[in-house]
Homo-oligomer: A and B are copies of this chain.
Amino acid sequence: MGLIVQKYGGTSVGTTERIAQVAQRVAGYQARGHQVVVVVSAMSGETNRLVAMGRELGGDRPSAREMDVLTSSGEQVTVALLSIALLELGLTAKSYLADQIRFRTDSAHGRARIEQIEVEKLRQDIDQGVIPVVAGFQGVNDQGDITTLGRGGSDTSAVALAAALSADECEICTDVEGVYTTDPRIVEGARRLSQITFEEMLELASLGSKVLHPRSVEFAGRYRVPLRVMSTFIPGPGTLITLESETMEQAEVSGIAHAVDEAKITVAGVPDVPGIASKILGPVGAKSIEVDMIVQNTGVDGMTDFTFTVKRQDYDTTLDLLKEVAADISARTVTGDNAIAKVSIVGVGMRSHAGVATKVFDRLATENINIQMISTSEIKISVVIAERYVELAVRALHDAFNLHQEPA
């Protein structure tokens, strides 16, 4: 028994039938003695529908303030509908919009940052057995204007509420049964993880595993909110995302992520002098193009090669840009490749297990897959390979690290 914040995503509340099922699920938790606070997203497809109407009228850059007023209406609909469904089951429930609980954010419309939440009303409700149903994704700035938190915003709303309420757990209820060792569509033996650390989840989330938005994971880690990813409609324990503990399963590797939406640019034969990196990446950053991996080799004969990756959609722009500045930086050539994939091996176990990198390189060599770039962090190894090998690489590495088996 405890206080649980549950967040239901767009597909979980996508129809009135599903909303009724969610109400049943919430009722079950209360019947088992839990106190529940619910956070909901808009019905699936609704936010896109609203954004499309806004763009029809406002072009590519419609007013950010008004887009927030527009899109936040989606969550308003679902909090009301779920409250109605809970009341129909004989429970006491009450919807809350952001301004009703002073869910305060800054004024960065469309990507607002949470500043403060007044949980007094929610606490009163909880103490009286009322189930508060809170609109995710939305906030309110100090002017009383509606803001929104951006993609994955409802996850962040739920985590922030759980932190403010010192909840025992924050459950992200979604259409997958948890976090898997890798994409089950690629590897048949992909296994649901019963636990994973915040750090690992953060790496996986950033690396293209779509289960949770990195921001919500970061937030949960910072405020030490135990986070659980689980299915709304299929019973099961899901995956608990938690602080590292000695009792946790400690495999070398927890999971493998992959991303095929990147492209690489190589600036070859540039003088190996201080400041060259910023001369290359300065113009890229100035265009608000996000750079992911950066690799620079030790120079030979006072010259070096510099390679970095960007989102594939920014590839053409970046390549043109670098060709323009090539002369300024005395680069010999600027080349690129947009048919690449990034495969990343993540696990806190790497810290204590030597040889993880070697095992990765060996196995990829066995499969005849050439590694184009390597980047590592304390708990992650990412390699860039040709896109056509991505499924093969993921399957081979899943096998190499025995991820289909529960760790001993």
Contact = CB atoms under 8 A, between A and B. Distances in A.
A54 B79 CA distance: 11
B73 A73 contact: yes
Interface in A61-87: 62-63, 65-67, 69-70, 72-74, 76-77, 79-81, 83-85, 87
A70 B62 contact: no
A72 B63 contact: no
Contacts of A372: none
A54 B69 contact: no
A90 interface: no
Give the residue among A50, A57, A97 with the most B Cβ atoms within 10 A.
A57
A66 B83 contact: yes
B58 A69 contact: no
Contact of A16 (B16, B57, B69): B57
Nearest to A88: B58
A293 B65 CA distance: 51
A119 interface: no
Contacts of A84: 54, 57-58, 62-63, 66-67, 70
A356 B121 CA distance: 62
Contacts of A53: 16, 77, 81
A20 B70 CA distance: 16
Contacts of A62: 84, 87-88
Interface residues of A, number: 39
Contacts of A145: 100
A289 B187 CA distance: 66
Nearest to A87: B63
Contacts of A100: 144-145
Interface in A157-174: none
A42 to B, nearest CB: 10
Contact of A80 (B69, B94, B99): B69
Given A69-B79, A80-B69, A88 B57 contact: yes
Contact of A56 (B16, B57, B72): B16
> Which among A56, A77, A97, A100 has the greatest number of chain B C-beta atoms within 10 A?
A77
Given A95-B66, A95-B69, A100-B144, A57 B81 contact: yes
B80 A67 contact: yes
Interface of A: 16, 19-20, 23, 50, 53-54, 56-59, 62-63, 65-67, 69-70, 72-74, 76-77, 79-81, 83-85, 87-88, 94-95, 97, 99-100, 144-146
Given A65-B95, A70-B77, 16 more contacts: A16-B57, A20-B57, A23-B57, A54-B84, A62-B87, A63-B84, A66-B87, A67-B84, A69-B95, A69-B97, A70-B76, A73-B73, A73-B76, A76-B76, A99-B99, A100-B145
16 contacts: A20-B57, A53-B77, A54-B80, A57-B88, A58-B85, A58-B87, A63-B84, A63-B87, A66-B80, A66-B95, A67-B84, A69-B76, A69-B79, A72-B76, A73-B74, A97-B146
